[in-house]
């Protein structure tokens, strides 16, 4: 998939921020402008640095993200949602390089152990939060804390069309907005 000019600009600016040492940033693009394609290209460029986790809150976004990531990276992502569990070690002893997970499933658990704790945080280099305006919720905070605490290499990218919603900024602990198109 060839990127539109504004998508390429977003990819370049996010990667430049990460290269400068910024660990958390956000892309704000309008609905229908290809946010999933944009973050999939960022994921593709970061593939060699560690595993990638994409977090979404609806099945439609999980399937869409998985599809676009597969088409753009050439790797079929593993799904962590409800009865679907990422195959954390396949028969060849390999970990899936990309996981697309439901925030509800990652946050669920028993006896005080969240499902996201199945994953070793140090394996991951990038967490993408789709619809990042939701990440002020405790479920997102819990999961993001799991992956980012004691993982100095991790980068967090929030992606949303509505960074400021209901008077609450979608900080996602991302610090600043990296890029918003002028449309």
Report yes or no on 95 lying in a domain. no
Q: Could you report the per-residue pLDDT of 126-160, keeping only the tens digit for each?
A: 999 999 988 888 999 999 999 999 898 999 999 99
**How far apart are alpha carbons 21 and 33 in whole angstroms?**
27
pTM recorded for the entire structure: 0.89
Q: Could you report the per-residue pLDDT of 64-112, keeping only the tens digit for each?
A: 999 999 999 999 999 999 988 887 766 667 899 999 999 999 999 888 8
**Structural tokens at position 1:** 């998939």
14, 107, 148, 150, 160 from 37: Cα distances, Å = 14, 26, 24, 30, 13
Residues paired with residue 176 on neighbouring β-strands, in sequence order: 25
> Any idea what the Cα angle at residue 98 is, between residues 95 and 101, rounded to 5°?
105
Residue 173's domain comprises 5-84+110-179
For the chain, how many structural domains are there in total? 1
Between residues 177 and 148, the one the model is more confident about: 148
Which CATH number do you get for residue 74? 3.40.50.300
Report yes or no on 97 lying in a domain. no
Report yes or no on 100 lying in a domain. no
Report yes or no on 172 lying in a domain. yes
Report yes or no on 59 lying in a domain. yes
Mean pLDDT in the chain?
88
Output the pLDDT for position 94.
Answer: 80
Residue of 87, 22, 94, 101 whose CA lies nearest to 58: 101
């Amino acid at each position: 998939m060839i990127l539109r000019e504004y998508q390429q600009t977003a990819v370049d600016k996010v990667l430049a921020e990460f290269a400068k040492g910024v660990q958390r940033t956000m892309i704000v693009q309008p609905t229908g402008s290809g946010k999933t394609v944009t973050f999939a290209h960022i994921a593709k460029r970061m593939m060699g640095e560690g595993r990638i986790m994409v977090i979404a809150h609806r099945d439609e976004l999980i399937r869409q993200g998985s599809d676009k990531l597969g088409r753009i990276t050439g790797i079929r992502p593993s799904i962590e949602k409800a009865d679907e569990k990422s195959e954390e070690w396949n028969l060849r002893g390999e970990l899936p390089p990309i996981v697309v997970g439901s925030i509800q499933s990652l946050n669920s658990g028993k006896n005080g152990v969240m499902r996201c704790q199945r994953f070793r945080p140090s394996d991951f280099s990038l967490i993408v939060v789709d619809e990042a305006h939701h990440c002020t919720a405790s479920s997102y905070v819990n999961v993001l804390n799991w992956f980012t605490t004691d993982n100095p290499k991790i980068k967090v990218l929030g992606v949303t069309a509505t960074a400021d919603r209901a008077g609450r900024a979608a900080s996602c602990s991302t610090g600043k907005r990296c890029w918003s198109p002028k449309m």
